[in-house]
Amino acid sequence: MAKLRCNDYGFECEFIVEGEVERIIEEFGKHSEEEHGIDYPREALMQIILRKSQ
């Protein structure tokens, strides 16, 4: 299980998603595009998750 927080990446935002990697990629990607105007490629989100889990 993994967790991503929007405020860990410089946003003043309380969004948090945790769970399976596929769910995190989908929900964090959707949130960042809709709320912050940033379209993270799937590969970039995967790298973020992998770095956080180390």
Cα–Cα distance for residue pair 41/46, rounded to 1 Å? 9
Task: Give per-residue pLDDT as tens, 6-52.
Answer: 998 888 999 999 999 999 999 999 999 999 999 999 999 999 888 88
Alpha-carbon dihedral of residues 40, 45, 46, 47, nearest 10 degrees?
Answer: 100
Residue with tokens 């945790």: 18
> Taking 70 as the threshold, does the pLDDT of residue 54 lie above it?
no
- DSSP secondary structure letter of residue 12: S
Cα–Cα distance for residue pair 51/20, rounded to 1 Å? 15
Query: pTM value?
Result: 0.85
Question: Which among 30, 49, 47 is positioned nearest to 38, based on CA atoms?
Answer: 30
